[in-house]
Copies of this chain bind each other. A is one copy, B any other.
Amino acid sequence: MLKNSEKFMQNAIDIAKIGIQNNQTPFGAVIVKDGEIITSSHNQVWSTTDITAHAEVTAIREACKKLNSVDLSGCVIYSTCEPCPMCFSAIHWAKIDKIFYGATIEDAKKAGFNELEISNKTMKKLGKSKLKIKKRVLQKECKELFNIWGAQENKKIY
């Protein structure tokens, strides 16, 4: 039986798969509050022509709208991949309590993605952030997204 954290990570994997089917890069994120999903987003950089539309940033924007607040205290975010420094910082600004992530920035790099190789651990330490981080939740399944994406004929990297 899946733990709650694995269940929500599976939701993030599912939305990432929908993104892949729609020619987006293989990243998904889900924001949860009080055990309920608030938003669920895949990367939308290509579909919206917006280089900032990573899965996490998109999920945060939508959660702000949905909760009518720029303060997402009490929320947690599930991301199929360790958030990049842009997304980590956005999560910090949003006052989200905790990040659960699956694959690591290193896994994404190995799969061919350009990366700003600054880990969440380093960002947290340098920025003196109180964000809690739980890594490698369903890591294998999250890494598999890179293979599914890699097998697509029309895949585009940026």
Contact = CB atoms under 8 A, between A and B. Distances in A.
Interface in A95-128: 116-118, 122-123, 126-128
Interface in A62-105: 64-65, 68-72, 84-86, 88-90, 92-94
Report the copy number of this chain in the oligomer.
2
A13 interface: no
Contacts of A126: 117-118, 122
Interface residues of A, number: 35
Interface stretch (A28-36, A43-51, A142-150): A43-51
Interface of A: 45-46, 49-52, 57, 60-61, 64-65, 68-72, 84-86, 88-90, 92-94, 116-118, 122-123, 126-129, 158
